[in-house]
């Protein structure tokens, strides 16, 4: 693999690792807000926690989609013919 491709692959792998960590944090946040929702005693608090929970889930979904793109690029970079 050419030096440029190796560097690109290392960068993509680093981004994929960071995205994986970020996805886990989004899930942890969504889980936290879900627990808070179930413990909330007012409708206003339930509404706020529900909104926050859904936002975190949406962030995670977006990040998973972006991670899929990065993983496809990693695969393309690995299989790209050498020059």
Domains: count for the chain = 1
pTM of the model: 0.85
On whether the CB atoms of residues 67 and 23 are closer than 8 A, the answer is yes
List the end-to-end C-alpha distance of the chain, in Å, as a whole number: 9
Interval 6-65: pLDDT, tens: 999 999 999 999 999 999 999 999 999 999 999 999 999 999 999 999 999 999 999 999
Task: Please check whether residue 61 lies inside any domain of the structure.
Answer: yes
Domain of 68 in residue numbering reads as: 3-78
Task: Please check whether residue 83 lies inside any domain of the structure.
Answer: no
Number of H helices, E strands in the chain: 2, 0
Task: Please check whether residue 66 lies inside any domain of the structure.
Answer: yes
């Amino acid at each position: 693999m050419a030096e440029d491709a190796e560097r690109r692959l290392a960068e993509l792998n680093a981004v994929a690792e960071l995205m994986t960590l970020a996805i886990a944090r989004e899930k942890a946040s969504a889980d936290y807000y879900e627990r808070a929702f179930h413990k909330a005693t007012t409708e206003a608090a339930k509404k706020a926690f529900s909104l926050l929970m859904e936002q975190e889930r949406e962030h995670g979904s977006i990040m998973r989609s972006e991670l899929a793109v990065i993983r496809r690029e990693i695969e393309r970079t690995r299989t790209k013919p050498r020059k």
